[in-house]
Structure 1
Amino acid sequence: MNYTLHQLQVFLKITQTKSITKAAEELHLTQPAVSIQLKNLQDQFEIPLTEVLGRQLYITDFGKEIALAAQNIIDEVYNINYKTLSFKGILSGKLKICVVSTGKYVMPYFLSNFINKNRGVELEMDVTNKLKVIKSLKNNEVDFALVSTLPSGIDVYSEELLPNKLFLVGTSFDDDLDVLKADGFIGESPMIYREEGSATRIAMENYIKLRGIDVKMKLQLTSNEAVKQAVIAGLGLSIMPLIGLKNELENRSIKIIPAKNLPISTNWTLIWLKGKKLSPAANAYLDFIRSEKSTICETHFSWINQY
């Protein structure tokens, strides 16, 4: 056997993405370069690592076993690097965070100073939907998760970071629209929803149900950005988190529509599993958040107080 660490890293990325093209994109390599590394690794085994059916790449059972071994090898290499840095008195290690999609407007501001001051810490941040965030947390695949509503059926510790407000928004309406008329206004307009399982979708559905509003037309999109662009284009109204609307509210491409019992208020909250033994990097980050979150909120998010 004469496989290299680079070959293992490339193969591991292929198993994660189930695609040579996507693996190449994430590794910032060309597609032929990834294919060559996969072939060179495969040539050292008599049993196939992958197979192609139709146009879809599949990882064989043997390939999955090799991927697990590759992950362990790569983790040990990282540990050697981290231990070297630790002996130099430098905080090191991986910090793994999973963030619900709208949280991409929040989390970077609560990370930048910490990462810039601790160059030995390697950040892995996955931005995805709520269901995958909770799954990653339950499977102990991450140190922390950022959510806007606390999950049920899982014991977690939590640290509130920032208020989260959801407003009814649109592009063209009477600025003096009476709040009492808003329910009818909602019912007459197409409503743009996030995908099933989204915390924003759940909050929106609960609000409409509570108000007894009959929504005549629905559109469903799979990201906050897609919903925002649809609202700007005039496809309908939506109930959206304020945090992602700063520029659009300032340039008036989106407007807040007055409506009874809005905004819906929750909190952007960092959570982690009870009983989890946090790494030195994760513990240091938690200390950083507790000491710096007020300053971060004042510096970057004071604008939300005007709404």
Structure 2
Amino acid sequence: MNYTLNQLNIFLKITELKSITKAAEALYLTQPAVSIQLKNFQDQFEIPLTEVIGRQLYVTPFGQEIAEATKRILAEVEMMKHKGLAFKGQLTGRLNIAIVSTGKYVMPYFLSTFLKQHSGIDLVMDVTNRYQVLESLEKNEIDFALVSVLPDNLKVEKISLMENKLFLVGNPELAKTISKEENELFENLSWIYREEGSATRQSMERFIANKKIQVNKKIQLTSNEAVKQAVLAGLGFSIMPLIGLKNELNDREIAIIPVKGLPIKTSWNLIWLKGKKFSPAALAYLEFLKSNIEAVINTNYKWLENY
């Protein structure tokens, strides 16, 4: 047999996602490239690893066994890399973080310098919804989670990274139709919501309830980026975190609508399970944050002070 580590990695991703298309997206490869590598890997076995029934890809029982062996091989290769770096005195390991979708505007900047300083540390960061973030934390599958609202049902510890401000925003042309002196006009708006369970949605619902606004038309979308695009297109208004609107505000594509009771202010918190036993990589990152939060904010987020 003459398979490559690249083929092993691609095959394992296909077995996890049960889709060549999704595997290609996850690995940032083209679908034809993934299909070719799967075929080249399959050709080294006399028994099929996968089969397609209808349009659905299935992993055969033999393919499942090869996938398990693949996991062990790749884990050993990863360990070899870390052992080599550790032998040279470098900090090694893996940092596992799950963040809510809006956190993609926050977390990379608090990781960049640390990862440059410690090239032997690998990062696995899952960007998903709040429910899945907290589920991963509860199952102890990750080192840290980034959230803007602390969970009620978990015992966690935290470090606050920075303030989170949420404003009412809309397409500039649409925003001109709103008078800040006449909140009853809100009842004629189309409100664009995040999905159930989103911390942004919870803040927005509290604001609407406190203002006693009757929502007559509602649009629900499943990501902050989707909400932003809907606002840009003039589909309605939303209460959104300021941190994801820098370019649109600078280009005057989105307008902040001044309203009493806004902005809503929360904090971006990096949290972990109370009593968590950290790996050396996770412990080093926590120590890095304690000394560098202010520097990261001053370098990347001074613009937030203008709002």
In 2: Cα distance, 1:15 partner to 1:199 partner: 33
Paired amino acid for 2:175:
F
Quote the residue 1:178 is aligned against. 180
1:99–1:147 CA contact under 8 A, matched in 2: yes
Structure 2: state its 5+ residue gaps.
none
Superposition pairs for residues 1-307 of structure 1, below 5 Å? 4-39=4-39, 41-42=41-42, 49-60=49-60, 63-64=63-64, 66-170=66-170, 171=172, 172-174=174-176, 177-179=179-181, 181-182=182-183, 184-307=184-307
Task: Flag the 1:65–1:272 CA change in 2: closer, same or farther, 3 A.
Answer: farther
Task: Flag the 1:126–1:217 CA change in 2: closer, same or farther, 3 A.
Answer: same
User: Structure 1 residue 147: deviation in Å?
Assistant: 1.0
Which runs of at least 4 in structure 1 moved beyond 6 Å after TM superposition?
A: 44-47
Paired amino acid for 2:228:
K
In 2: Cα distance, 1:193 partner to 1:89 partner: 49
Paired amino acid for 2:95:
L
Given the two structures, how large is their TM-score scaled by the length of structure 1?
Answer: 0.89
Give SS of 1:149's match: coil
1:177–1:258 CA contact under 8 A, matched in 2: no
Considering only aligned residues, what root-mean-square deviation do their CA atoms show, in Å?
Answer: 2.4
Q: Deviations over 1:235-283 (max 9, x none)?
A: 1110000111122222322122122322211111111222332221111
In 1: Cα distance, 2:187 partner to 2:208 partner: 9
Aligned positions, number: 305
2:167–2:263 CA contact under 8 A, matched in 1: yes
Given the two structures, how large is their TM-score scaled by the length of structure 2?
Answer: 0.89
1:166–1:240 CA contact under 8 A, matched in 2: yes
In 1: Cα distance, 2:29 partner to 2:256 partner: 44
Identity of aligned residues (%): 61
In 2: Cα distance, 1:258 partner to 1:33 partner: 51
User: Structure 1 residue 150: deviation in Å?
Assistant: 1.2
Paired amino acid for 1:301:
Y
Paired amino acid for 1:270:
L
In 1: Cα distance, 2:140 partner to 2:2 partner: 33
1:157–1:274 CA contact under 8 A, matched in 2: yes
1:160–1:270 CA contact under 8 A, matched in 2: yes
